[in-house]
Amino acid sequence: MSCWVVTGERQAARIRGLYLRAILRQDIAFFDTETTAGEVIGRMSGDTILIQEAMSDKVGKFIQFISTFIGGFIIAFTKGWLLALVLCCCIPVVVLAAGVMAWIMTTMSSRGQSAYAKAGNVVEQTVGGIRTVASFNGEKRSINKYDRELDVAYRCTAKQGLVSGLGLGVILFVIFSSYALAVWYGAKMIMHHGYKGGDVINVMISIMMGGMALGQTSPSLNAFASGQAAAYKMFETIRRKPSIDASDTSGVTLEDVRGEIELRDVYFRYPARPDVQIFSGFSLLIPSGKTAALVGQSGSGKSTVISLLERFYDPHAGEVLLDNVNLKRFKLKWLREQMGLVSQEPILFTTTLKENIAYGKENATEAEIRTAIELANAAKFIDKLPKGLETMAGEHGTQLSGGQKQRIAIARAILKNPKILLLDEATSALDAESERIVQEALDRVKSNRTTVVVAHRLTTIRNADLIAVVQSGKLVEQGTHDELIGDPNGAYSQLVRMQQGSNHGGKLMEADDAAEAADITTMDSDDIVLSSSKRLSEVRRSLSHEGSSRHSFSFNFPVPGLINIQESEVGNDNPDKMTLERRKRVPITRLVSLNKLEWPYLVVGTIAAGIHGVIFPVFGLLISTAIKIFFEPKPMLKHDSRFWASMYVCLGLVSLVVAPIQNFSFGVAGGKLIRRIRSLTFNKVVYHEIGWFDEPANSSGAVGARLSTDASTIRSLVGDALALIVQNMATILAGIIIAFVANWMLAIIILALLPLMGVQGYFQNKYNKGFSAVAKCALCR
């Protein structure tokens, strides 16, 4: 089994790697229309566990049981082919029942996993945008949306329990009925066809062992069904061929890039909005080494130009050219290396500032990073941080102000030394002072580069070599500022007047803010750093006096130049082992208390599992009795064979009743427990203080992975595992009673071996728990 466990882990790791590589090579349209970040996290964490279970020890057990089944039937046909052939009539029914059960289980499992993927997307969106959720009091809305997806998954789980119970019940009923047929027909073969009692017993035992082995493949079949459903979606993504392949190494490169850009008669629609035409014959020429500014109303198509230049999308018609070469002909990785993008809301990763900047260039040296941050006007505030470049940025850069994030993004873009610089409203969301600092950094790095600027504030692009006015996806004007402003009826002049009028209307407000901005400006220029705990404590004190909610924090305390450093960054980053152990130890009674609302299901399921467990010792008793009657005189044999055959049928009927009740009851109890735990956990998560989400361990990916993997682990305690525990305890108890009644001395000798079996089970359990904990931590990371 250890070989299969290793195989399963390696295959799961390989599939994770293939899936991640497939995700990273997909085009942007795939993320717009076919998947979400939450679904990807769910597939990477939850679905790969199902695949691993389907490919590890379950395969070994399945092969073992199938081999037992085949070997048993070979022996049976060798010893008495006619009796074995009669008993084989039950096999098609067992196969049919198992096939129908596996098909329905696969369907239900696929629906459940789809619901969990949607729930994971809710987690990712909520945790990733927790500040927005909190500021709009949207926690309850997110919880309700999450709970709706959990309800769908719960219903699928309950149906899976019922279907697996019915399938198992039918299989056991057919198997026990086949034993009844074996006893009755075996007696006839002895009386009329010269069979010996030993031959009948050989056939019966062989068929019995083979049939029981076939029945024991049920857990493996369930795991295969779940793994197959999980693998289907993952392999669908792995095999998907994107129209723009980020990993494609084919294509041409240029030795000397001049940086001339041309969009020639471009037609384009976004894949997520195919009914909205963005560009209809759009054309624009940007000379090399010049700065071109794109201006216009929101939704006019300015940012789409940036997306087409980066080749996030391809135009449906027309061409996008670099130095008179169509972008489709270039090697994609090389093309993007020639461009540096700074967007309105730059994305920073949950790692150090140094590593965030180093994303701009592979194997960047310390000197290159230092030069980049100095050119980006970021060196001053970074040097004042306690850990400097080793400071954690927080998820999506939440530990930095807007201006600081922009400067880190500019440094990242500078590090790759791009021939073309793309600035997508890089200063529109900043206050006046932060905009000034960032604009100085941009002006410093724009020289000798072709620069495309998508501008919201027209004052920032007065000195551009070319200003292009875009309206409704069409180029309506282009020229310099002086040329365009000279036409009072032109589109550019109207935009300037609209913005000046807006600024004049807000003049008093700006004057009132000037004094406050001056203070903030001083703070930003000096890059004063406050710790998160100190700032939050001051905010809480002020809020407690003013009676405000915590959601007003982001509006009442706008400090643009401030960075919050968590205590964990300057404190102990590595808690001691005992602290971690205390956090992990949760009493099982707490889990039981969470499941107390389902006590009727648990009671009924426990009774059914107990009866189910007693069936097998009783079955052994019937076997010993059947062996005895085959050596009775023929008159007694005829009567007793009918009676004991009817007992087997009764045993099959009991299995047909208790197996569905057991699986359905524990399925409902386990499903409701998982739904409750996921819901309660998510409820607690969204109401945490904002500083909690700044911890790397509490990122949206880590929270989503924990909700997925931990819930799956807990499910195993209340579902199949708990049912098997009760069933096995009943089997052991009934077996011991029967053994002591039959021969107490022999029973004591056998019982002496139980402690050794218990020790072996204990160490195996400890090993599995330790192994799963390590795997879970790796998945969260």
- The answer to whether residue 579 is domain-embedded is no
263 pLDDT band (50/70/90 cuts)? very high
The mean of the pLDDT values for the chain is 78
The pair of three-digit structure tokens given for residue 365, joined into one six-digit string: 């040296």
Burial of 314 (0-12, 13-18, 19+ CB in 10 A): middle
Residue 654 has pLDDT above 90, yes or no: yes
The pLDDT, as a whole number, for residue 746 is 84
CATH code of residue 637? 1.20.1560.10
Contacts 24+ apart (CB under 8 A), 512-520: 517/431, 517/432, 517/433, 520/431, 520/433, 520/558, 520/559, 520/560, 520/561
Across 101-105, 288-292, 670-674, the highest mean pLDDT is recorded for 288-292
**What are phi and psi for residue 571, nearest 5 degrees?**
-100, -145
Number of domains in the chain: 1
Q: Give the model confidence (pLDDT) of 730-760 as tens digits.
A: 988 998 898 888 888 888 888 887 788 778 7
E strand or H helix at 451: strand 450-454
Residue 69 has pLDDT above 60, yes or no: yes
- The answer to whether residue 705 is domain-embedded is yes
- The answer to whether residue 685 is domain-embedded is yes
Separation CA 766–CA 776 (nearest Å): 15
The pLDDT, as a whole number, for residue 553 is 32
Residue 321 has pLDDT above 90, yes or no: yes
Give the rounded percent of residues in the chain with a pLDDT score beyond 90.
8
Residue 469 has pLDDT above 50, yes or no: yes
Average pLDDT over residues 485-506: 75
The pLDDT, as a whole number, for residue 628 is 83
- The answer to whether residue 498 is domain-embedded is no
Average pLDDT over residues 240-255: 85
Q: What is the DSSP letter of 352?
A: B
Q: Beta 420-424 vs 450-454: how paired, if at all?
A: parallel
Average pLDDT over residues 236-263: 87
Average pLDDT over residues 176-201: 85
- The answer to whether residue 374 is domain-embedded is no
Which stretches does DSSP call E strand in 511-631?
Answer: 530-531, 564-565
Residue 227 has pLDDT above 60, yes or no: yes
- The answer to whether residue 639 is domain-embedded is yes
716 pLDDT band (50/70/90 cuts)? low
- The answer to whether residue 406 is domain-embedded is no
Separation CA 724–CA 717 (nearest Å): 10
Q: What is the DSSP letter of 294?
A: E
Instruction: For residue 648, give the nearest of 628, 631, 626 by alpha carbon.
Output: 626
Q: Give the model confidence (pLDDT) of 700-713 as tens digits.
A: 777 877 777 676 66
Residue 558 has pLDDT above 50, yes or no: no
The pair of three-digit structure tokens given for residue 186, joined into one six-digit string: 């075996």
**What are phi and psi for residue 255, nearest 5 degrees?**
-70, -35
Average pLDDT over residues 141-149: 88
Structural domain containing residue 205: 2-241+595-742
Of 86-95, 383-392, 511-520, least confident by mean pLDDT is 511-520
Instruction: For residue 695, give the nearest of 781, 551, 575, 568 by alpha carbon.
Output: 568
Residue owning tokens 């069936």: 615
698 pLDDT band (50/70/90 cuts)? confident
Q: Give the model confidence (pLDDT) of 43-62 as tens digits.
A: 877 788 888 888 888 888 88
Separation CA 695–CA 394 (nearest Å): 7
Q: How many other β-carbons are positioned within 10 Å of the β-carbon of residue 544?
A: 9
Q: Give the model confidence (pLDDT) of 395-423 as tens digits.
A: 667 778 777 888 888 888 888 888 898 88
Q: Give the model confidence (pLDDT) of 413-463 as tens digits.
A: 888 888 898 888 766 656 667 667 767 777 777 777 898 988 877 777 888
pTM above 0.75, yes or no: no
How many CA atoms, within 13 angstroms, populate the side-chain half-sphere of residue 431?
22
Residue 579 has pLDDT above 50, yes or no: no
- The answer to whether residue 355 is domain-embedded is no
